[in-house]
Amino acid sequence: MKVTAHGNNLFQLTYLGCINMYLVREEDGFTLIDTALESCAEPIIQAAQQFGLPIVCIVLTHAHDDHAGALDKLHELLPEAEVAISARDARFLSGDMSLDADEPEDKLRGGWHIHKTRPSRLLHEGDHIGSLEVIASPGHTPGHASFLDTRDRTLIAGDAFQTLGGVAVSGTFVPLFPLPAFSTWHKPSCLESARKLRTLEPSRLAVGHGRILEQPLAAMDRAIKQAASSLGQSEQRATSLAH
Ligand SMILES: [Zn+2]
């Protein structure tokens, strides 16, 4: 597991060069964002220990296997830690794969498992977990959530964007790393969420797959433009719809 520091409070943990987790430093310990695969549970705990802080909260951006895989094992090893995920994606953790009547009828893709662990906290748009603000960013999954560190505007965007193989909005086919695109639920929602995340003007973009980008706005703009054109939308049209 490779561990790198970014700014004062963010550590990126990378497994097999392609799956990221994050430790966000708070005064009372770390918030872990995403858990990768089951075999990552112990290395994640060791990574936190090397900085001398406990993991007090486990947060998932979404319920896919490569983000929730070590959840049960971590919950066993850290029974006191809070477990948080969006109320919407929490249903997938318990095996409920239904879509709601007001959600686009698209196929749920990607790897899913039923987990024993029940979240201790269900998240909604605008909630706060320590310094992190919850930003609903549906599209990759119906309940995908991103997290903005309000101290320095670091955006932890899960699979709403990827940077591995090129910066892209979820759902855009990236030949060098197509996994996020293959596991994406509804591309128009991904594009809408990407635009919403861009308006937050993050100073740093941290994603589930790929390296961290500093000052990411120009790269986000290019990725949004590309996603829009592949969906047959122009940015001008999107702007006029927004007004
Ligand atoms: Zn995913």
pLDDT tens track for 56-68:
999 999 999 999 9
Ligand 1 geometric centre to CA of 119 (Å): 18
Ligand 1 geometric centre to CA of 141 (Å): 7
Tell me, what amino acid is at 225? K
Ligand 1 geometric centre to CA of 240 (Å): 31
Distance of CA 195 to the CA centre of its chain: 16
Helix (H, G, I), strand (E, B) or coil at 79: coil
**Long-range CB contact pairs, 235-241, < 8 A, 24+:** 238/195
At 173-195, the pLDDT tens digits run 999 999 999 999 999 999 999 99
Instruction: Indicate the DSSP class of residue 94.
Output: T
pLDDT value of residue 145: 98
pTM: 0.94
List the one residue out of 38, 44, 41, 37 whose CA is nearest residue 12. 44
d(CA 109, CA 106): 9
| Nearby residues for ligand 1 (ion, Cβ within 5 Å) | 64, 159
Ligand 1 geometric centre to CA of 67 (Å): 7
Structural Rg of the chain based on CA atoms? 17
Mean pLDDT score of the chain? 95
List the one residue out of 162, 168, 82 whose CA is nearest residue 122. 82
CB 150 within 8 A of CB 51: no
